Amino acid sequence: MKAFREILAAAALVFTVITVVLNYSSLPQQIPTHFGANGVVDGWGDKSTIWILVAVLAFEYILLSLVRFIPQSMFNMPVRPEQRAAAMPFAFAMLDWIKVETSCLFAFIVRSTLAVAKGQAQGLGLGFTISLVAIFATSIYYIVRMRRVVATTPETL
């Protein structure tokens, strides 16, 4: 399952880079740089700013990939040391899914930015809200699962 999550996150990153590369030359000089809470454009800037979104996505992807290499003892988790081993798989799965979802969210934002810049859309639309709800729902789901497994894990192994 981890490989599946990694493939999804990497695919979103690759999709985003390819989409920008293929569309960059046809973009107008001014593109949306910010969307308000209602999903409507409220800021414009030079088309080169689209690369900032790509850079942030790449940074986020790398950072969340490197988290697995941090010693588990450095994770701040409200569990007793003997319960940490039971909780860590859920913490890593949550991070993996958040990496997938945020990568897809950035891909969606880039695609929406390009569509608005080309006059094919008016704003972010419902997809943005759905993406945010999915990220929060994933976090809540895995936190609840961690709490349940910790509650059933003996204090001493």
For residue 112 the two structure tokens come to: 């929406």
Whole-number average pLDDT of the chain = 90
Q: 86-142, pLDDT tens digit by residue?
A: 888 888 999 999 999 999 999 999 999 999 999 998 888 888 889 899 999 999 999
Determine the pLDDT at residue 155: 62
Residue 108 CA to residue 13 CA, distance in Å, equals 11
Residue 14 pLDDT > 70, yes or no? yes
Q: Which run of H or E residues covers position 22?
A: helix 2-23
Q: Which run of H or E residues covers position 34?
A: strand 30-35
User: How many Cβ atoms from other residues are within 10 Å of residue 126's Cβ?
Assistant: 8
For residue 87 the two structure tokens come to: 């909780």
Q: How confident is the model at residue 78 (pLDDT cuts 50, 70, 90)?
A: confident
- The one-letter amino acid at 78: P
Residue 156 pLDDT > 70, yes or no? no
Count helices and strands in the chain by DSSP H and E runs: 4, 2
Give CA angle at 99 (127, 70), nearest 5°: 160
pTM: 0.85
For residue 115, what is the DSSP state?
H
58 against 77, higher pLDDT: 58
